[in-house]
Amino acid sequence: LKALLIMNKRLEALGEKVLLLEEGMLLRLYTGPLFEKYNIVPRGGATTGCDNPFLVQRFQSLCGGKDGEVNRYITSIHTLTSGVVKLSKLTPVQKVFRGLGGNLLPRQFWEPDSFGCKGGVEFG
């Protein structure tokens, strides 16, 4: 709650809309236990057009229920998106680098550093 108040003060100072409590709660859940569920919905839970069996199966296993019912977390994802858009007003503009097809990834992608971390990719 303290972090939400701090963010809202910064947003108010910029003349932007403040975060609702629900947005703050969902942003917090997204950084933890519900990240995987919220992220699999647009990848494997599309009602049409998903032809990746792994993503579809993963969606079913994470979001499926009895009798083939699934939870697409529609309200949660919309509320989460609203919170992300509001918080984006506090993010400084900077360069973003994207990969180019046909090039090799750097050594740091494949070899762990002193903390055991190495690069990764995300479906999407």
The predicted-structure confidence for 83-103, as pLDDT tens digits, reads as follows: 999 999 998 887 666 666 777
The helix or strand, by DSSP H or E, that contains position 88, with its residue range, turns out to be helix 74-88
- Rounded Cα gap, residues 38 and 72, in angstroms: 8
Res. 124: pLDDT tops 60: no
pLDDT tens digits, 36-76: 999 999 888 877 777 788 988 999 999 998 888 899 999 99
State residue 81's pLDDT score: 96
Residues near 14 by Cβ (< 8 Å), separated by ≥ 6? 89, 90
